[in-house]
Amino acid sequence: MELAVYNIKGEETGKNVSLNENVYGIDPNDHAIYLDVKQYLANMRQGTHKTKERSEVTGSTKKIKRQKGTGTARAGDIKSPIFRGGGRTFGPRPRDYSFKLNKKVKKLARRSALSYKAKSDKIMVIEDFNMESPKTKDYIAFLNSLKIKGEKSLLVLNEHNKNIYLSSRNLQGVKVVTASDITAYDIMNASVLLLAESSVYILDNMLSN
């Protein structure tokens, strides 16, 4: 598969880039994408949720009424979960939600996600560019020239570029990542995938083996 290379003004440069069929043309594996996205979202969770159980609630441990003869149910101290202000039964505790996923599965997930975008013609290759200073309006003009303003876009660079990152971070639905940090979640979450010309070769080396 060959794609035309565009510049930041949305014009074709006359160059073409060939996409590796082993990366962008495989039969997508939905389960691999599911596992990778699940791990990504799980790793994003802080897991700091916590409620107090009866042993942690402040209150007296004195038995609040006698065991028998009251005509009501027996009860212990005021910290019992059945009373207002008492501890919670089996409440959430801090925990780590992350889990292990094999590198080959993660690689398959990224290849599958890229193949989905390629099959739906949602990939554009952009000539390598830079911004002299971080300006949001310049990045908006860049999106307008490509006629994708208002769509969720993911720009993949070959290396970190501070000016481009700062220019895009205030825009909703816009994300900039490096090729080495790309995830299946980012790819599937974007409507349009923008690949810097040099990042295509990095992705080939990362995912084709």
Model pLDDT for residues 93-152, shown as the tens digit of each residue: 999 999 999 999 999 999 999 999 999 999 999 999 998 899 999 999 999 998 988 899
∠ CA 203-6-161, nearest 5°, is 55
pLDDT attached to residue 150: 85
Model pLDDT for residues 22-33, shown as the tens digit of each residue: 999 999 999 999
pLDDT attached to residue 149: 84
170: nearest Cα among 140, 200, 126, 125:
140
Model pLDDT for residues 2-21, shown as the tens digit of each residue: 888 888 888 888 888 889 89
- Asked if residues 52 and 90 have their Cβ atoms less than 8 Å apart, the reply is no
Question: Is pLDDT above 80 for 209?
Answer: no
- Asked if residues 154 and 186 have their Cβ atoms less than 8 Å apart, the reply is yes
User: In the chain, at which residue ranges do the beta strands (DSSP E only) sit?
Assistant: 2-6, 12-18, 123-126, 153-157, 174-178, 192-196
Average pLDDT, the chain: 92
| CATH fourth-level superfamily of 2-46+98-207 | Ribosomal protein L4/L1 (3.40.1370.10)
- For the full predicted model, state whether its pTM sits above 0.75: yes
pLDDT attached to residue 96: 95
Dihedrals phi, psi of 77, to nearest 5 degrees: -85, 175
> What percent of the chain lies above the pLDDT cut of 90?
82
Residues of the chain with CATH 3.40.1370.10: 2-46+98-207
